[in-house]
Structure 1
Amino acid sequence: MGAEAWARIAGATAAGDAGFRARLDQLEATQRSLLRRLLEANPATVFGGDHNFANVASAESFRDLVPIRGYEALSPYINRVVAGEENVLTAEPVRFIEQTGGSSGGAKYIPYTDTGLQAYTDCLYPWMSELIRRRPGVAQGHSYFALSPVGRGASERVGARRLGSPVPFAYFGALRDSLIQVSAVPMDLRLLSDFAEWQRQTCLHLLAAEDLSLIWVWSPTYLTEILRAMQRDAESLLPELADRLGAVRPADVVRRRIAALEGALGSSQLSAIWPRLDTISCWTDASSSGFAAALQAQFRHVFIQSKG
């Protein structure tokens, strides 16, 4: 089933990548077409009215009427969206609010529409297609995607809006189910509100995934903390893991896996936890550079893919 899921992922992302590359030959026309669609869809919104969208005739006039600004300048509009008001920034309904991590200037609320999600998908497919093409090993096992903040319940809200996507892998569009199939951890872990329990269950599932081939996180410290928890709690994690694996795998296979993990977690050779790990995708610049370098030192044969 995993191979079939990866085949679907490879096929769909390759098609998305082909469309993206075709549009690279028409950059200006593509951008002007997108701007025109946005202006035509949103003249009656609060933001569109305040910025005279109905009378914008060109990209040049748009630049004059809608200057570049930071989050604080947009926050009055965003606050109205969070409070439940419609037709503020977009005529299209807001599906949910996402909260950024706050690494720069504090946490920020970002409204998401279906079109906004599709824009993410349109960017992610070319990325994943190129990754599979350049690093085919990523499609040879399970994956771990850290997409949602830890401890967020299914019904958590901010103002009148749902906080976070109602479904996992929402940013990947039609590939959601395929990505769930190749995930090393079950999707219901994202709903655990207790951090310690979330971390323990995540460690157990990742330790069980001997064929893990791709790790996708934002900050490298996210993965570093999981690795630290694995080493710290190895004495209690490994017996529980042995019991779990013993229910579904032959005894000799379980013994070999536990022995390998004992050796890896008891030393600095953490790469032995996942012998088939091909790629770790994470931030590598600015304040993350040192942590990413530390990961590379621990996983010398793994490709560290830099996130923008």
Structure 2
Amino acid sequence: MFQPVLKGVHRAYMVSLRGRWRQFQRAANKPRKAQEARLRSLLSVRRDTAFAREHQLDGVDSFAAFQDRVPIRNYQDMAPWIERIANGEKRVLTRAPVRLMERSRGAAGEVKLVPYTDALFSEFAAATGPWLRELSVGCPELMGTRSYWGMTPLPHKRERTPGGIPIGMNDDREYFSPLARFALRRPRAVRSRVRRVADPSAWRQQTIKELLDCGDLGMISVWHPTFLIAIMEELAQNLEAILNEIKPARRAAILSSLDEAGDLVGEAVWPRLRLLSCYGEGPSAELIPNLRAWFPKAHIQPKGLIATEGIVSFPLWGGTGNVLAVTSHFLEFQDLEAPNARPCLADELRLGGTYSPIITTAGGLTRYHLEDAVRCVGFHGSTPCIEFLGRLDMTANLAGEKLSEAVVRRAIEIAHWETNIEPRFVLCTPVNSPKARYRLFLERKGSEGDLTNFQFCLERQLQESDGYRSARKHGLLAELELIEVKGGWDTFQRVRRREGLAVPDRQDQAYLDLHPIWEHAFQKGQSTTRAEINSDL
């Protein structure tokens, strides 16, 4: 693609974002006023709906009245309303029609459907527009380059709910405005039709091939760092074979750059690469050093707090933390140090305080508790900036799998029943290096039984969870590793005390622990993995 065309598309689009940026800047200086306007608008889109009638929202004229009329909800509370929408009922949560349903996974592996209206897409665009404007100013080298926006394979046939509503988006660009999608479509590095490749291995190979063919790649935006790490690991293992699949001129250019760099690093493959956008806070922060080793020169920008249900914050170039998206949804925050108090409004967060977001969106979710933990780390204007700390529930998320303690516990129980190996102590931890995977430390009663079978049963059971199975299938997670240990419970207590962590009663010990402190803690015996275990179990 000719560089003048790319630069022209970029320049025209960035000029169009000036208004969005100025609007956000005004709101950031007066977040209470901005949030008042958002709540009025969101109550308006709910007028004459089944939800508004049940909660008597017509008379709401203040934040306090809204909080008093509508209790805080989780997905299970919203599910009956969403099921009515999925079955074709109109005006359930919003007056506007639902354009599509998007899948999200719960901590226990269950599939959740989130309704999307045009107004909800506009709310996302109210945050992504200022973010892209900031990128154009902070990183002008992106001008005239192409970008890759994360995508995963689509089903052969577009799925629909019983009421005929489509399920699923095409790719991450759906979160942007129509003009943004047009602008981003022109300089894309990987064709959207690659998402129609159903086989995960073939999809991954085609994605890598098209990325390698893109010599002017400037930006990569994906959700999880594990995706990029897996791509670079595959290049390292099969570089010659993969390079033989791309255009000869591009192959020669890459080989020349690799000779000059003396090592396989991302900037040698893509000399114009300047920005990696991915999760980088909370548990994902541990993956960033591994990602940095593959991309030593590119700027790694952690994404804000973005969920399928809504957007809470987005990053600013060179800023501390991620600024609250006060022009998107109506935001409330449960103070985790005073959980029984009335939730705070966006402008009431205090520096250093820890909170859990509650969102009300144009898609119909009302006072919806995201069950994430965040900390206020600064301010942009008068609007708080936050960092993501992790989930309130015990959930690990290395590559989008959202593996809960309950799922791990159930898998261990089933492995015990099937193999007759009785655990005396067990602890499962996420591991980021050298490859993302889960590691199970096991001390058993007696010495009978085959640990290889225990590990096989455990891996098979974990793959009953859609998120874990998908991450394994797409090469983002390696198989679970089982390590036999001695003195497990005594070591567990000693290490937690040393780290200043509470020690639970033995019967209350969680089987999943997210703290990165266990790799060298235990006296290790046999280590068990099975190379033949794969996602076809």
C-alpha distance 152-301 of structure 1, shift in aligned 2 (>3 A): same
Q: Distance in 1 between matches of 2:63 and 2:10?
A: 41
Partner of 1:257: 253
- Closer, same or farther: CA 194–102 of 1 in aligned 2, 3 Å: farther
Q: Determine helix, strand or coil for the equivalent of 1:100.
A: strand
The alpha-carbon distance between structure 1 residues 279 and 258, as it changes in their structure 2 partners (threshold 3 A), is closer
* Alignment match, 1:90: 94
Query: Structure 2: which amino acid aligns with 1:282?
Result: C
What's the secondary structure of 1:132's corresponding residue?
helix
Aligned-partner Cα distance in 2 for 1:58–1:105: 37
Match of 1:157 among 157, 160, 168: 160
- Which residue of 2 is the match for residue 249 of structure 1? none
Identity %: 30
8 Å Cα contact 1:264-1:273 kept in structure 2: no
Q: Which residue of 1 aligns with 2:244?
A: 239
Q: Distance in 1 between matches of 2:47 and 2:106?
A: 31
* Equivalent in the alignment of 1:18: 22
Q: Which of 21, 44, 48 does residue 44 from structure 1 map onto?
A: 48
Aligned equivalent of 1:212: 217
Residue 39 of structure 1 aligns with an amino acid whose one-letter code is L
Change (3 A) 1:255 1:81: closer
Does the 8 Å contact 2:146/2:189 carry over to 1?
yes
The match for 1:34 among 28, 33, 38 is 38
How far off is 1:140 after superposition? 3.6
Q: Which runs of 5 or more residues in structure 2 are unaligned?
A: 305-537
Q: Comparing both chains, which one has the higher relative contact order based on Cα–Cα distances under 8 Å and sequence gaps of 6 or more?
A: 1
Output the CA distance in 1 between the equivalents of 2:112 and 2:260: 39
- 1:250 aligned partner: none
Q: Is the 8 A contact 2:229 2:291 kept in 1?
A: yes
Whether 2:121 is the aligned partner of 1:117: answer yes
Amino acid paired to 1:10? M
Give the match for residue 285 of structure 2.
289
Q: Deviations over 1:2-35 (max 9, x none)?
A: 1111112321223211111122333222222221
Moved more, 207-216 or 291-300: 291-300
Cα deviation for residue 163 of structure 1 reads 1.2
**Partner Cα separation in structure 2 for residue 29 and residue 153 of structure 1:** 46
- 5+ residue gaps, structure 1, are 247-252
Return the match for 2:273 from 251, 256, 277: 277
Work out whether residues 16 and 122 of structure 1, in 8 Å CA contact, stay in contact via their aligned partners in 2.
Answer: yes
Q: Work out whether 1:227 is the aligned partner of 2:227.
A: no
CA contact (8 A) 1:153 1:193 kept: yes
CA 1:154–1:132 in 2, change beyond 3 Å: closer, same or farther? farther
1:304 and 2:300 matched:
yes
* 1:131/1:106 CA distance change after superposition, 3 Å: farther
Question: What is aligned with 1:73?
Answer: 77
Worse-matched range after superposition: 231-240 or 114-123: 231-240
After superposition, give the CA deviation of every residue in 1:191-213 in whole Å (9 maximum; x if it has no partner).
22221221111101100112211
CA distance 1:152–1:291, change in 2 (3 Å): farther
In structure 2, the CA distance between the partners of 1:107 and 1:296, relative to structure 1 (3 Å rule), is farther
Separation in 1, partners of 2:228, 2:88: 36
Q: For residue 266 of structure 1, report the CA deviation from its aligned partner.
A: 9.6
Q: 1:171 to 1:131 in 2, by over 3 A?
A: same
Q: Find out whether 1:100 has 2:122 as its counterpart.
A: no
Over 3 Å counting, the alpha-carbon distance change for 1:258 and 1:103 in structure 2 is farther
**Secondary structure, aligned partner of 2:143:** helix
2:198 maps to 1:193: yes
Give the conservation status (yes or no) of the 8 Å contact 2:128–2:176.
Answer: yes
Letter in 1 for 2:154: G
1:293 Cα deviation (Å)? 2.0
Change (3 A) 1:62 1:152: same
Change in 2 beyond 3 A, CA 1:22/1:94: same
Aligned residues of 2:145 and 2:217 also touching (Cα < 8 A): yes
Report which of the two has the higher share of strand: 2
SS in 2 for 1:149: coil
Query: CA separation in 2, counterparts of 1:294 and 1:303?
Result: 14
Question: Aligned partners of 2:241 and 2:219: how far apart in 1?
Answer: 26
Give me the whole-angstrom Cα distance separating, in 1, the residues matched to 2:282 and 2:21. Answer: 29
Relative to its length, the structure with more helix (as a share) is 1
TM-score by length of 1: 0.88
| Aligned-pair Cα RMSD in Å | 2.4
- CA distance in structure 2 between the aligned counterparts of 1:139 and 1:103, rounded to whole angstroms: 40
Residue 175 in 1 paired to residue 192 in 2? no
Is the Cα–Cα contact under 8 Å of residues 258 and 269 in structure 2 kept in the other structure?
A: no
Native 8 Å contact 2:17 2:133 kept in 1? yes
User: What CA distance in whole angstroms lies between the structure 2 residues aligned with 1:283 and 1:13?
Assistant: 24
**Other structure's SS at 1:99 match:** strand
Distance in 2 (CA, whole Å) between partners of 1:294 and 1:46 is 49
Largest Rg, 1 or 2: 2
- How far apart are 1:268 and its partner, in Å? 4.1
Q: 2:12 aligns with which of 8, 15, 27?
A: 8
Whether the 8 Å CA contact 1:151–1:195 is kept in 2: the answer is no
Q: Does 1:203 align with 2:199?
A: no
Deviations 1:81-137 (A, max 9, x none): 222222111110000011125568644221100000011111101111111111112
Q: Which moved more, 1:209-218 or 1:284-293?
A: 284-293
The 1:270/1:30 distance shift into structure 2, 3 A limit, reads closer
CA distance in 1: counterparts of 2:93 and 2:221, whole angstroms: 31
Cα–Cα, structure 1 residues 55 and 175, in superposed 2: closer, same or farther, change >3 Å?
Answer: same
Deviation at 1:189, TM superposition (A): 1.3
Shift of 1:278: 0.5
Q: State the one-letter code of the partner of 2:82.
A: I
